[in-house]
Amino acid sequence: MNSDVEIAGDPLALPHLLPPAPAHPTTVADFAGLARDIAADPDSWAPLVRYDATSRWYHRLREVPGTPDSARPDQSFHGYQVWLLSWVPGQGTGAHDHGASFGLLTVLAGELTERAGPGAARGRRTLTAGTQRVFAPGYVHEITNDALEPAVSLHIYFPGLTDMPMHPAQRSAVRLPVSAHQPCPTAWAERS
Ligand SMILES: [Fe+2]
């Protein structure tokens, strides 16, 4: 049987015909690969990590603005942000979504717990180091450190996170009221 290469020719032999490599990640797989690359290079993030028992700690590792293309909206690049977060035992987010952004969470160290879905039936996932989760816009979840050791996670938002609406607490734990539609840095600071 003839192979595709025998029938159509080897495209790798004609590099000038290949589409140019994108300057930035644009697909979920690209962003997952970016997160794995960062995770595999602890020198790039471990020295930056701080733990704060009084307030959630976060650090923006990278922000790449979008480049709209009004003539070809389908070719617009929407930009992204890369955040480094730490979690001491007991810290959590409260239930929230990510506005119009997709999110990709990668646990770099320790263990986190994700709860998603309505009411008592909310699914519970234990996220260990190396675990990746992808969230579509509108996805509601809550992340907590229910373990006994601190944790560190990497979060990529594409497009960059501009709004992180908080949702009413859906479990018995007492949470301070948080106003909706706070920009993410404020929301993170107040979500401890
Ligand atoms: Fe989230």
104: CATH: 2.60.120.10
Long-range pairs for 178-184: beta carbons < 8 A, 24 or more residues apart: 178/94
Look up the domain containing 66 and give its range: 4-191
Residue 72: predicted pLDDT: 86
Is 16 assigned to a binding site?
no
- Model confidence band, residue 180 (pLDDT cutoffs 50, 70, 90): very low
Question: How far does the centroid of ligand 1 lie from the alpha carbon of residue 72, in Å?
Answer: 31
Question: How far does the centroid of ligand 1 lie from the alpha carbon of residue 141, in Å?
Answer: 6
- Model confidence band, residue 2 (pLDDT cutoffs 50, 70, 90): low
Residue 85: pLDDT above 50? yes
CA nearest 133: which of 154, 117, 160, 119? Answer: 154
DSSP, collapsed to helix, strand or coil, labels residue 160 as coil
> In angstroms, what CA-CA distances link 36 with 31, 39, 107?
9, 5, 10
- Model confidence band, residue 24 (pLDDT cutoffs 50, 70, 90): confident
Residue 174: predicted pLDDT: 35
Question: How far does the centroid of ligand 1 lie from the alpha carbon of residue 22, in Å?
Answer: 27
Residue 177: predicted pLDDT: 34
- How many domains is the chain partitioned into structurally? 1
Question: How far does the centroid of ligand 1 lie from the alpha carbon of residue 21, in Å?
Answer: 30
- Report the range of poorest mean pLDDT among 24-33, 83-92, 143-152: 24-33
Is 141 assigned to a binding site?
yes
- Model confidence band, residue 113 (pLDDT cutoffs 50, 70, 90): very high
Question: How far does the centroid of ligand 1 lie from the alpha carbon of residue 162, in Å?
Answer: 13
Question: How far does the centroid of ligand 1 lie from the alpha carbon of residue 120, in Å?
Answer: 19
Residue 192: predicted pLDDT: 32
Question: How far does the centroid of ligand 1 lie from the alpha carbon of residue 113, in Å?
Answer: 12
